[in-house]
């Protein structure tokens, strides 16, 4: 579960990555989600509204997302307006990986299955 500044903003971003909303929660007296459960295939992610400012650099977390076509997925994200890094080819990802940063500064590494 990642603490985020805005649950609706995170939902919108992660939907561009192929996640669907599975469940949400709005506290009594509020109009905005404070929690959401998202899913893409076998991947599950929960996001919850942070009580304090989010400092992703202090979280020391890398989220890895796997796909079958790294260049194709990168191009699709770019078409959706997502800022994507260049494809790199480290020894552990011979078919490539690239970096995406979510709205709260969390790093997502996209690589091949």
Residue 14: which CATH number?
Answer: 3.10.180.10
**What range does the domain containing 66 cover?**
2-112
Q: Are 65 and 101 in contact (CB under 8 A)?
A: no
The per-residue pLDDT of the chain, averaged, comes to 95
Query: What number is the average pLDDT over the span 2-14?
Result: 96
Per the model's pLDDT, the better-predicted residue between 61 and 19 turns out to be: 19
**How far apart are alpha carbons 74 and 61 in whole angstroms?**
21
Q: Which pLDDT value is given to residue 92?
A: 95
Structurally, how many domains does the chain consist of? 1
Of 66, 62, 18, 12, the C-alpha closest to 40 is 18
Q: Which pLDDT value is given to residue 15?
A: 98
44-100 residue pLDDT tens = 999 999 998 888 778 778 899 999 999 999 999 999 999 999 999 999 999 999 999
Q: Which pLDDT value is given to residue 85?
A: 98
Q: Which pLDDT value is given to residue 55?
A: 86
Query: What number is the average pLDDT over the span 12-28?
Result: 97
Q: How far is CA 57 from CA 39, 74, 81, 83, 90, in A?
A: 25, 24, 23, 18, 23
């Amino acid at each position: 579960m990642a603490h985020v500044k805005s649950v609706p903003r995170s939902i919108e971003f992660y939907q561009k990555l192929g996640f669907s909303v599975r469940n949400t929660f709005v506290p009594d007296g509020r109009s905005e989600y404070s929690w959401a459960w998202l899913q893409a295939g076998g991947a599950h992610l929960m996001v919850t509204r942070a009580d304090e400012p989010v400092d992703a650099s202090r979280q020391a977390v890398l989220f890895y997302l796997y796909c079958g076509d790294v260049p194709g997925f990168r191009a699709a994200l770019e078409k959706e307006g997502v800022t994507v890094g260049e494809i790199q080819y480290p020894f552990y990802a011979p078919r490539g990986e690239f970096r995406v940063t979510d709205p709260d500064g969390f790093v997502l590494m996209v690589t091949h299955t």
